[in-house]
A and B are shown apart, each in its own frame.
Chain A
Amino acid sequence: MSQRVNLDLKKELFLYGAKEWNQCFQCGNCTATCHTTENGFFFPRKTVRQVLMGLKKSLQTNIDPWLCTYCGDCSRTCPRDANPAEMMMSIRRYLISVYDWTGISKLFYKSKTLEVTSIIVLSIIVMVLYLIYTTFPSGDSSQWIGPDGGALINKMAPWQTIHLGDWLMAGALVFLVITNIFYMWYKIIYDDKSLKVGFIDYLKPFSKLVKLINPDVKYAKCDEKKLTTYWVLHAFLALSYGTLFAIIVFFLDWFQTDTVYPFLHPQRILGYIATIGLTVGIIYFYTNRTLKNMENSKYSHFTDWTFLILLFFTTLTGILLHVFRIYGLPQLTYVTYMLHLMVLVPMLVIEVPFSKWSHMIYRPFALYFAHLKKMVIEKSKTIPHQPQYN
């Protein structure tokens, strides 16, 4: 496959956070160190090579960076300090923008100002909508307090109203995510003319379901032991996030109640555990990124920080909202709820389809596609000729 060399590719990747890649002298140390390397997937060296040579098309259809778990082994031992691991991270950011057919992701990754402005604009829209469709607790304050002492939240912002907004937002997100994944499939599988994928083939990777669901199982093979903590906390954070997301979108009526349930009620227990997951995760990732004490936290792109900051404020306002509601402070509850939505909505709308968060969706699919590809190649038995330079 001949392709044009794109000299701007390197410069472009800088915007996505790539470092010192130019140092690489193609020694193959990283490939040999990497625990995810298997025959057929020679990376990260091969991927770095694509960048060095400006093979944009190869890079865009490259799935390998998603296999990387950022264990950092390659960067630690690279004789040229070429930071292959951070290169993979940057390429993942780049690929997120490639899969996003709307092109919005690209704009966010390249411009801090644009991302921040969008967040603010969205916040304001949310605020306006909130003020229009909800009622401020005024007059006799006792009418806003329920029999068990909690603020009557559903009287100010009925869950039905919020739910409607949730669904509108979720619908848009689902649409974007699905179309993006379709585009990813198109680029990676469909466009690769050397692959002949039959319908049955699509089912095969599920035989390796464990690997698909849990890519990080492979961390076990890595050298750095700190990674176990990393992985546990990362999973806890992701799980907490997912749980709260599901509750809000599908079971808001169960979660947002006027009754204050006893402490051990499932509603409260679940909420507390998830909150702990978020808090511990945020603190851990924040310290990691500030102390830079691991290979995978040495470099931070501004989008990494945006996500963390939005998540922090969402959690903080969430906790405050809960406290104010339970202790029957209607005005504060009303305002905090507004603030909560003002950070929550931009976080979801911007991060889910267009930025950091989307790796949660792309990575499992990428792994799925990678296994699919590998199985199809193995089936045809002839391992395709791997030209040295792409």
Chain B
Amino acid sequence: MEGIKTTAVFFSNSSRGDSDLIDIPEIINYTEKLIKVNSVWLQDDINIYSPELVSRKIRKDNIRRIVIAGQNPGMYKSLFAKAIVLAGFSPDDVILASFPEHGALIKSDTEWAKAIVACAVNNIPFENATLTEEISVNPNTLVIGGGIAGIQASLEIAASKNKVYLVEKSGTIGGHMAMFDKTFPTLDCAACILTPKMVEVGQHQYIELMTYSEVKEIRGIPGDYKVKILKKARRMSLSKCIGCGVCAEKCPVKTPSEFDSKTTLRKAAYIPFPQAVPNKYMIDESVCTYVASGKCGICAKVCPVPGCINLDEKDEIVEVNVGNIIVAIGFKTFDASKFEQFGYGRFPNVLTSLELERLINASGPTGGKIARRIQDKKGNWIFSPEEVYSPKSVAIIHCIGSRDENHNKYCSKVCCMYSLKLAHLLKEKLPDSEINEYYIDIRAYGKGYEEFYNRIKEEGVNIIRGRPAKVEMYGNELIVRCEDIEGAAMIEQKVDMVILAVGTEPAADARDIAGKLGISVDRDGWFNELNYIGDPVSTLSSGIMIAGVCQGPKDIPDSVAQASAAASRVLQSISKGTIRKSVKTLSVEQIEKRSQELSKILEEKL
């Protein structure tokens, strides 16, 4: 043995000076005290262009192993591998300690990042040092969120005859996918895939569906959670309602329909959409006059089933015991009115992509006709089904709210593809119209995606590189001002309709749910996974999995795959009968000690 202080730890600079990033100086302090650490190197100490100089440093300081720690350590691996070989040692002794890979992303994860460095310094895989003991598991599972991800996960688990409680916030399951007509890249009918699954959930004997419900409180430990669920009063009986719709017909109160992206109105007594699961009517307490003032009650009078409508029904709290939890609460779309320059909210024919999805859909506000809004006699802007008003030209603007330092910095990943899909569907319904897509970069990764992109180009959609600066309205015409970068021209395009490809954002109550579950969210608000590469469905809490867009932007195939993976993780613990204790029960000191012990055992064996 040539002494034990032979490890150097290199810290790569974290990106731009963000205050909520991991506290590097504190970790450096900690690292310097670790027994095996000889020296800590910072970016300024190292000439990253010269392996020769680094190798000289290695020999001078008597270094045998190098740990690269930081946000993106892989970037420096080749430099240090070269340097250590030049110094006469093995490249295997360059070890990466990636913070994001093991779930350390923001300032509050600083302690966790210390543990990551400690394991790397002791040359023990993080997963091995953080193995916890097994405890017994309750075979019931809670799934939060009934979008495609939540549905898929529930069905997978229920198929093994284990009980699932599926809690959905709105009156129906289905999530965003239920709103679409077709899905990219296959252009399959969305409902044809989704509706059978929804119906199966509704009928499955192992799934207890709780719609219009929210998780109130979660106590307990992995394997044994006690969950309080708030079942909001539907005021109409799930068992008695026959779905005749008379109540809705007679209800005098109108409010924008969430399902139609607020392009249409629904009643206070309503069903979210005709194929909703459960296929029952309900009352929206936030607008119902009876709930507000005790007057009205028309629905109860007209309902043909006695005792079906109970306007005085109260919210109820149920408590369930589960061993595992899958969170799949999805996303919300970016609020396009934050971009004043595009006039959303001011110009009636500037729509979001989600609104266009509804317009294209046969069950949407215009029965699938692509219509423009015109002013009716009373001066209200309404979608006109008349042929003459169908748009002759449409502009689709990409990256609304995404890849933008002033809004969301990340790429929303699905908007390029769904914009291409929407362009295709528009072209299909309006073959003579001119469709222009304005993009910054086209992100068409994945199986069949690039081909899809090429196909859309061949269909005659104008794909223009350049981000428009503004949309202006003159009379009924919209004008998009943009630099066509590849065509080297300034364009001021007259169009009838502008579609804003809004990005995805974490669901409204993501942070709240994370707090209740004791899991963390990253800077943007997406749920943190345990290991971004190796274990993207687990969280720091071993009984809690994440699936779908709530973990980060993704499309339907990826959401489904991740949901199945989460379900398999749950089934693993159910079939074993035990689950590991949460790694969060371990402290930095414990992990450090564990990795030291393991490394001692390893060294003795060698």
Contact = CB atoms under 8 A, between A and B. Distances in A.
A182 interface: no
B482 A81 contact: no
B465 A79 contact: no
A32 B470 contact: yes
Interface stretch (B142-150, B282-290, B485-493, B572-580): B485-493
Contact of B490 (A26, A32, A80): A32
Nearest to A41: B490
Given A29-B469, A32-B466, A42-B490, A79 B404 contact: yes
Interface string B449-484: 000000000000000011111100000000001111
B268 interface: no
A386 B488 CA distance: 6
A99 to B, nearest CB: 27
Interface string A359-390: 00000000000000000000000000110100
A37 interface: yes
Contacts of B246: none
B490 A79 contact: no
Nearest to B488: A386
B151 to A, nearest CB: 35
B405 A32 contact: no
Contact of A28 (B341, B405, B465): B465
A28 B486 CA distance: 10
B482 A39 contact: no
Contacts of A28: 465-467, 482-485
B440 A32 contact: no
A32 B482 contact: yes
A34 to B, nearest CB: 8
Contacts of B406: 77, 79, 81
A31 B483 CA distance: 6
Given A32-B467, A79-B467, A42 B405 contact: no
B440 A77 contact: no
Nearest to B464: A28
A30 B341 CA distance: 13
A32 B404 contact: no
A25 interface: yes
Residue among B404, B406, B482, B490 with the highest chain A CB neighbour number at 10 A: B490
A79 B403 contact: yes
B96 interface: no
A33 B441 CA distance: 19
B117 interface: no
The CB with the most chain B CB atoms within 10 A, among A25, A28, A78, is that of A28
Nearest to A82: B405
Given A27-B467, A33-B470, A39 B490 contact: yes
Contacts of A386: 488
Contacts, number: 65
Interface string A171-190: 00000000000000000000
Contacts of A37: 483, 490
Interface in B358-409: 399, 403-406
Interface string A22-61: 0101111111110001110010010000000000000000
B405 A29 contact: no
Contacts of A385: 488
A45 B469 contact: no
Contact of B488 (A26, A29, A77, A388): A388
B160 to A, nearest CB: 47
A124 to B, nearest CB: 41
Nearest to B484: A28
Given A32-B467, A32-B482, A25 B440 contact: yes
A77 B469 CA distance: 8
Contacts of A25: 403, 440-441
B40 to A, nearest CB: 28
Nearest to B486: A388
Contacts of B470: 32-33
A32 B403 contact: no
A80 B407 CA distance: 10
Contacts of B490: 31-32, 37-39, 42
B440 A27 contact: yes
A37 B466 CA distance: 14
B399 A79 contact: yes
Residue of A32, A45, A78, A79 with most chain B CB atoms under a 10 A cut-off: A32
Contact of B469 (A23, A32, A38): A32
A80 B483 contact: no
Contacts of B481: 32
23 contacts: A25-B403, A28-B482, A28-B484, A29-B468, A30-B469, A31-B466, A31-B483, A31-B490, A32-B467, A32-B470, A32-B482, A33-B341, A33-B469, A33-B470, A37-B483, A38-B490, A45-B483, A77-B406, A77-B469, A78-B405, A79-B399, A79-B405, A81-B406
Given A25-B403, A29-B467, A79-B405, 17 more contacts: A23-B405, A25-B440, A25-B441, A27-B440, A28-B483, A28-B484, A29-B468, A29-B469, A32-B481, A33-B341, A33-B469, A37-B483, A38-B490, A42-B483, A45-B485, A77-B341, A79-B404
In the complex, the 4 A-B pairs of residues with the closest C-beta atoms, listed nearest first = A32-B469, A28-B483, A33-B469, A386-B488
Interface of B: 341, 399, 403-406, 440-441, 465-470, 481-486, 488-490
